[in-house]
């Protein structure tokens, strides 16, 4: 469960943390119920400001990947909501649109985009 | 003449032999795993034997060459030489300690971990913690002696313990200067629990002593007096005790949460061990010693002198039992087996 961040990248560090923790939660590397390090600990370990880690945790909580239980800490939630909920359908459509835009920017056709999606799905 | 010769022999013997001991220890540090068998008779006994022999041989040769020893004061010459040996030995040890020379740290680390990188990490922490602790205690005692105006040992003991505490804290403050570099960083997402690094009994005692200090403070605020012997001067001691307890807890939290990048498993275990030692032996034990002294003084001020004396005695006993982090007894334990499968780590970044 190693988290890697690079402040020199264009992507903000809090977003790097959010993406990696989300990925770990979705793939099961972080099991539901796992307690994440405190903001202070993770900020110290990564040599970051506490506010940066706090913002990443806040975004993770907003996207229902983790839940904060007060002084007990921050826990990973079961991130497999029912696919037929309105929220899930909307979220999926949004992600698909973003992916289609990116695929067309890279000059991919529909088959190429589907192949890339299949590969990414299998790798996850 | 006998006095002079005895003194010269004593100083020469001390310097030569303690220098030899040091050389032997340095050689042992370079050669892994060798014991101190080269110096079965080492330190003061050997120095004293050679010094006495020197006096016996040289004094008659120079003072009474024809066997007439009537003009030489043998007893004062030997006593002087003996005293000089002790003084030189003490100065030598003092110099060693002031310079931070601690070959035992590496030997203790050998017994705590089988991995070379982990040993380096533990050795560095042990050397720093033991040296700062000793230096703090030494300076505290010096200040205590300077403040000792009425012949009582109170300031010496209290400031000695306070110095040990300050020295121990300064050894852990070392990490606060660390800043991360500009490049990529990695960290383990495993949460470090405070309770995994503390010793329950020590935490309970610190809490109990803080509660007693709070009780003393409350009693004084309410004007209550126990056993009719109160002098009304307990509150500074109680406040100081509460302050020490707070500082101990804050520092323990700092140690548990201080920076640790992603490390190989063996090094992570060594880092955990260094943290546990720092939390318990590095901070909690000197804190308990100082707390016992302060609470003992506070209790004496409200008329509970007997309990206060017991606290002070316990403090001294605790200090004796935890001198040099209380780890010297490990020197009699076997050396830990080397790690077999762990690849060499690039170097510790913590502890």
What Cα–Cα distance (Å) separates residue B203 from each residue in A117, B123, B239, B250? Answer: 55, 26, 19, 13
Question: Residue B25: what pLDDT?
Answer: 52
Reading the block at residue B115, the tokens are 């991995």
Q: Does A105 touch chain B (CB under 8 A)?
A: no
Whether B165 is in a domain gets the answer: yes
Does one domain contain both B159 and B49?
no
Domain count, chain B: 2
Which residues lie below 8 Å from residue B159, measured CB to CB, with a gap of 6+? B140, B141, B143, B144, B147
Question: Phi and psi at residue B165, in whole multiples of 5°?
Answer: -60, -45
> What are chain A's domains?
13-76 (1.10.10.10), 86-123 (no CATH)
Does one domain contain both B166 and B274?
yes
Quick: pLDDT tens for B74-104: 677 777 777 777 777 778 778 878 887 888 8
> Reduced to 3 states, what is the DSSP secondary structure of residue B101?
coil
Q: Does A39 touch chain B (CB under 8 A)?
A: no
Query: What letter does residue A35 receive in the DSSP assignment?
Result: B
Cα-trace Rg, chain B = 25
Question: Phi and psi at residue B185, in whole multiples of 5°?
Answer: -130, 155
Does one domain contain both B224 and B146?
yes
Whether B153 is in a domain gets the answer: yes
Does one domain contain both B89 and B233?
no
Does one domain contain both B156 and B244?
yes
Reference B342, options B123, B119, B185; nearest CA is: B119
Q: Which of A41, A49, A60, A68 to mutate to test the interface with B (most CBs of B within 10 A)?
A: A41
Q: Which of B2-6, B137-141, B345-349 has the lowest mean pLDDT?
A: B345-349
- Chain A to chain B, count of Cβ pairs less than 8 Å apart? 67
Given pLDDT bands bounded at 50, 70 and 90, which one contains residue B46?
A: low
Which residues lie below 8 Å from residue B105, measured CB to CB, with a gap of 6+? B123, B126, B127, B130
Reading the block at residue B167, the tokens are 């020295």
Are A47 and B192 inside 8 Å of each other by CB? Answer: no
B85 or B160, which is more confident:
B160
Tell me how far apart the alpha carbons of residues B93 and B231 are, in angstroms, rounded to a whole number: 42
Does one domain contain both B54 and B137?
no
Instruction: Write down the mean pLDDT value for chain B.
Output: 78
Whether B343 is in a domain gets the answer: no
Which residues of chain B does A36 touch, with a Cβ-Cβ cutoff of 8 Å? 189, 191
Tell me how far apart the alpha carbons of residues B69 and A34 are, in angstroms, rounded to a whole number: 87
- When pLDDT is averaged across residues B58-86 and rounded to a whole number, the result is 63
Does one domain contain both B59 and B148?
no
Whether B225 is in a domain gets the answer: yes
Q: Which domain holds residue B148?
A: 125-176+195-332
Whether B189 is in a domain gets the answer: no
Does one domain contain both B151 and B47?
no
The ipTM value here is 0.71
């Amino acid at each position: 469960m190693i988290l890697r961040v690079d402040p020199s990248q264009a992507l903000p560090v809090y977003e790097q943390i959010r993406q990696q923790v989300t990925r770990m939660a979705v793939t099961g590397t972080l099991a539901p119920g796992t307690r994440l390090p405190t903001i202070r600990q993770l900020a110290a370990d990564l040599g970051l400001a506490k506010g940066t880690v706090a913002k990443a945790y806040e975004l993770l909580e907003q996207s229902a990947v983790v839940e904060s239980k007060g002084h007990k800490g921050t826990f990973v939630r079961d991130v497999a909501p029912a696919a037929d909920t309105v929220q899930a359908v909307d979220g999926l459509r949004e992600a698909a649109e973003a992916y289609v835009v990116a695929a067309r920017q890279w000059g991919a056709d529909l088959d190429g985009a589907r192949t890339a999606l299949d590969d990414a799905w299998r790798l996850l | 003449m006998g006095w002079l010769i005895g003194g010269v022999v004593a100083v020469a013997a001390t310097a030569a032999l303690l220098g030899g001991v040091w050389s032997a220890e340095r050689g042992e540090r370079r050669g892994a795993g060798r014991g101190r068998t080269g110096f079965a008779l080492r330190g003061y006994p050997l120095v004293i034997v050679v010094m006495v022999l020197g006096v016996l041989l040289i004094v008659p040769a120079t003072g009474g060459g024809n066997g007439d020893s009537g003009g030489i004061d043998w007893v004062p010459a030997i006593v002087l030489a003996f005293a000089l040996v002790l003084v030189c030995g003490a100065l030598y040890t003092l110099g060693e300690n002031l310079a931070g020379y601690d070959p035992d740290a590496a030997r203790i680390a050998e017994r705590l971990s089988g991995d070379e990188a982990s040993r380096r990490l533990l050795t560095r922490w042990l050397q720093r913690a033991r040296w700062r602790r000793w230096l703090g205690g030494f300076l505290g005692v010096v200040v205590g002696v300077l403040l000792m105006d009425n012949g009582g040992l109170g300031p010496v003991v209290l400031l000695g313990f306070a110095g040990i505490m300050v020295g121990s804290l300064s050894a852990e403050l070392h990490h606060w200067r660390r800043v991360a570099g500009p490049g990529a960083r990695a960290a383990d997402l495993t949460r470090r629990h405070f309770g995994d690094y503390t010793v329950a009994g020590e935490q309970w005692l610190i809490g109990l002593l803080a509660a007693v200090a709070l009780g003393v403070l409350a009693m004084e605020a309410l004007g209550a007096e126990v056993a009719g012997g109160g002098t009304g001067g307990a509150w500074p001691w109680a406040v100081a005790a509460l302050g020490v307890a707070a500082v101990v807890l804050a520092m323990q939290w700092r140690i548990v949460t201080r920076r640790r990048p992603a490390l190989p498993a063996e090094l992570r275990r060594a880092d955990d061990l260094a943290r546990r030692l720092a939390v318990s032996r590095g901070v909690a034990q000197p804190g308990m010693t100082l707390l016992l002294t302060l609470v003992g003084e506070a209790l004496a001020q409200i008329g509970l002198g007997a309990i206060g004396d017991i606290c002070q005695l316990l403090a001294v006993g605790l200090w004796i039992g935890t001198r040099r982090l209380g780890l010297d007894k490990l020197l009699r334990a076997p050396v830990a087996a080397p790690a077999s499968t762990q690849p060499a780590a690039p170097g510790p970044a913590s502890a």
